[in-house]
Amino acid sequence: MRRSLPVAIAAAILPLLAPTAASAAAAPGTAEAPSITGARADRTPWSVAHDGAQASGERWREPNGIFSDLVVEGELTGAGTGCHSVWTRFVYDLAPAFPAKQAEVCGAESAAVSLRAFMMPTTTAYITVCRGTEDTADCASWSRL
CB atoms within 10 A of CB 110: 13
Domains contained in the chain, CATH given = 44-144 (2.60.40.1470)
Q: How would you write the pLDDT of the chain (145 residues) with one tens digit per residue?
A: 444 544 444 444 444 434 433 333 434 443 344 444 444 558 999 999 999 999 999 999 999 999 999 999 999 999 999 999 999 999 999 899 999 999 999 999 999 999 999 999 999 999 999 999 999 999 999 999 9
Strand partners, 103: 86
Amino acid at 20: T
What pLDDT, on the 0 to 100 scale, is given for residue 8? 47
What pLDDT, on the 0 to 100 scale, is given for residue 40? 52
What pLDDT, on the 0 to 100 scale, is given for residue 14? 40
Pick from 130, 97, 101, 131: nearest CA to 113: 101
Segment (H or E) for 135: none
Q: State the pTM of this model.
A: 0.72
Handedness of CA 51, 88, 116, 143 (dihedral sign): negative
What pLDDT, on the 0 to 100 scale, is given for residue 38? 44
What pLDDT, on the 0 to 100 scale, is given for residue 21? 37
Helix, strand or coil for residue 92?
Answer: strand
